[in-house]
Amino acid sequence: MSDNLSWESALNKLKEGNSNFVSDRIDGVLDNYKTNEDMVKGQSPFAIILSCADSRVVPELVFDAGIGEIFVIRVAGNVSNTSSVASLEYAVAHLGVNLILVLGHENCGAVSAAIGGGDNGHNLNHLLCHITPALHACETNEVNDVVKVNAHLTCKQIVSKSAIVQNAVDSGNLKLVPGFYNLATGKVDFMES
Ligand SMILES: [Zn+2]
């Protein structure tokens, strides 16, 4: 895995890709489709994206990335549940990916539902309970404020829930970055600290 991109290079590549997308300069997601043979041999994505399932947020397009370039996990509210954490653990431990971007987005319906509260039925209640900590931590009830806090907290929760991630962070190789996707412009705000 020594040829894997550092988190700094991976982050710059995502920023470049998003800049291409915003200025309508995407070069076509299939441009870098190598050969069937290469694809069968294995995968070597340079970044992990934990994104909402919202149809308006499409990571491969948003970051001008081709097949095999980004390891995308999508779940409403981009929450760190057992399955999403297990999925990204695979990409950290077995694919050597050094960057995790947790991508929240403007006007997220899952976050709005969490703000609304009430009984949303067994499955959705279970999902929304992962957003509850952001509701408590956020100073306002405004959806986009809560989305940003949720992306920050999800990064922290991933580390606390995963020894694999914790170890990679401690070694200095892995970085988690919260992001916010603006629906109207397509721009991603990278909220790295
Ligand atoms: Zn959403």
CATH number, domain of 104, equals 3.40.1050.10
Quote the pLDDT of residue 124. Answer: 97
Cα 6 to Cα 11, 46, 174, distances in angstroms:
9, 9, 8
Task: Indicate whether 81 belongs to any domain.
Answer: yes
Task: Indicate whether 155 belongs to any domain.
Answer: yes
Give the range of the structural domain holding residue 47, as residue numbers without chain letter: 7-190
Quote the pLDDT of residue 46. Answer: 97
Q: How remote is the CA of residue 171 from the centroid of ligand 1, in Å?
A: 32
Task: Indicate whether 72 belongs to any domain.
Answer: yes
Task: Indicate whether 88 belongs to any domain.
Answer: yes
Task: Indicate whether 2 belongs to any domain.
Answer: no
Contacts of 95 (CB under 8 A, 6+ apart): 1, 4, 43, 44, 45, 71
Give me the number of domains the chain comprises.
1
* Long-range contacts at 165-170 (CB < 8 A, ≥ 24 apart): 165/85, 165/88, 165/89, 165/92, 165/100, 168/92, 168/98
Can you list the residues of the chain whose pLDDT is less than 70? 1-2, 27-36
Question: Residue 150: helix, strand or coil by DSSP?
Answer: helix
Task: Indicate whether 163 belongs to any domain.
Answer: yes
Q: How remote is the CA of residue 47 from the centroid of ligand 1, in Å?
A: 20
Quote the pLDDT of residue 1. Answer: 46
Please answer whether residues 191 and 177 qualify as being in contact, where contact means their C-beta atoms are separated by less than 8 angstroms: yes
Quote the pLDDT of residue 32. Answer: 57
Task: Indicate whether 1 belongs to any domain.
Answer: no
Q: How remote is the CA of residue 92 from the centroid of ligand 1, in Å?
A: 24
Q: How remote is the CA of residue 77 from the centroid of ligand 1, in Å?
A: 5
Q: How remote is the CA of residue 24 from the centroid of ligand 1, in Å?
A: 23
Amino acid identity for residue 157 in this structure? Q
Torsion angles phi and psi, residue 136, rounded to 5: -70, -35
Quote the pLDDT of residue 193. Answer: 75
